[in-house]
């Protein structure tokens, strides 16, 4: 083996270690942001990953870079759901299917919910995916309206606010009943029908007084932070 070849040999494991650390950081970020939202810091991610914060900064110079790497693909999945909704035979079914499936994603990942509803995080890739998503969601809404099943006064920009409403239920009741949002989403969807019909079945019972008291005790006003650390 030549001197040059010998000196180059250690580079391979270093690259493998770097890639393993990158994956470890992304897995930890998914867990930390999913539970705590985007207020979590790179220090929090490093602690969860069992790595020094310097290792995290070498892979991702700021929280924005980490958010970009983590959520651009997940946002693309939401855009794919809108494309699937447009293929549904019944436009109303496509619309409700899209809303249900996106809320299911949000309910399991607070970070995804926040990046969907905010422009405070993410750069080019996140913006590109959102630019793809908006016309698709518009088509989902307009198709359901053209079928006469969705109220004509609904606009596509109502959807982020509807998600915010359900997100508030998720935040408020997650300690007592994490799936309670499944009771309230059908109520919202019933209100969006152009012609009210039979009321939807509610898949979860309402909270009793003890449970609502527990939710009140556990709930804390969320803090919103946009710094890059």
Q: In terms of pLDDT, which residue wins out, 152 or 222?
A: 152
User: What local confidence, expressed as pLDDT, does residue 198 receive?
Assistant: 78
- In whole angstroms, what is the distance from residue 98 CA to residue 84 CA? 8
Q: In terms of pLDDT, which residue wins out, 173 or 14?
A: 173
- In whole angstroms, what is the distance from residue 82 CA to residue 86 CA? 6
- In whole angstroms, what is the distance from residue 181 CA to residue 4 CA? 62
Do the Cβ atoms of 215 and 172 come closer than 8 Å?
Answer: yes
Beta strand ranges found along the chain (DSSP E)? none
| pLDDT over 90 at 92, yes or no | yes
- In whole angstroms, what is the distance from residue 81 CA to residue 167 CA? 19
pTM over 0.85: no
| pLDDT over 50 at 208, yes or no | yes
With b meaning 16 or more CB within 10 Å and e meaning fewer, what string describes 193-205? Answer: eeeeeeeeeeeee
Report the range out of 18-22, 26-30, 150-154, 211-215 with the highest average pLDDT.
150-154
Neighbouring CB atoms inside 10 A of 54's CB total 8
Report the range out of 35-39, 76-80, 126-130, 188-192 with the highest average pLDDT.
188-192
| pLDDT over 70 at 211, yes or no | yes
Neighbouring CB atoms inside 10 A of 220's CB total 7
């Amino acid at each position: 083996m030549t001197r040059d070849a010998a000196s180059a040999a250690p580079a391979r494991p270093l690259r493998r270690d770097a890639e393993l650390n990158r994956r470890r950081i992304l897995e930890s970020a998914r867990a930390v942001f999913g539970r705590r939202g985007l207020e979590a810091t790179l220090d929090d991610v490093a602690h969860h990953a069992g790595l020094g914060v310097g290792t995290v900064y070498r892979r991702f110079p700021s929280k924005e870079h980490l958010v970009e790497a983590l959520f651009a693909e997940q946002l693309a999945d939401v855009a794919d759901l809108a494309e699937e909704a447009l293929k549904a035979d019944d436009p109303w079914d496509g619309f409700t299917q899209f809303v249900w499936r996106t809320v299911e994603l949000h309910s399991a990942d607070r970070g995804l919910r926040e990046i969907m509803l905010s422009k405070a995080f993410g750069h080019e890739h996140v913006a590109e995916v959102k630019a793809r998503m908006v016309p698709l969601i518009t088509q989902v809404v307009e198709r359901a309206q053209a079928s006469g099943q969705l109220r004509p006064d609904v606009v596509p920009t109502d959807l982020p606010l509807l998600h915010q409403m359900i997100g508030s239920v998720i935040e408020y009741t997650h300690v007592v009943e994490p799936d309670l949002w499944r009771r309230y989403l059908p109520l919202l969807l019933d209100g969006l029908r152009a012609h009210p019909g039979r009321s939807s079945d509610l898949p979860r019972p309402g909270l009793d007084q003890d449970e609502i008291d527990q939710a009140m005790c556990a709930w804390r006003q969320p803090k919103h932070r946009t710094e890059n650390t």
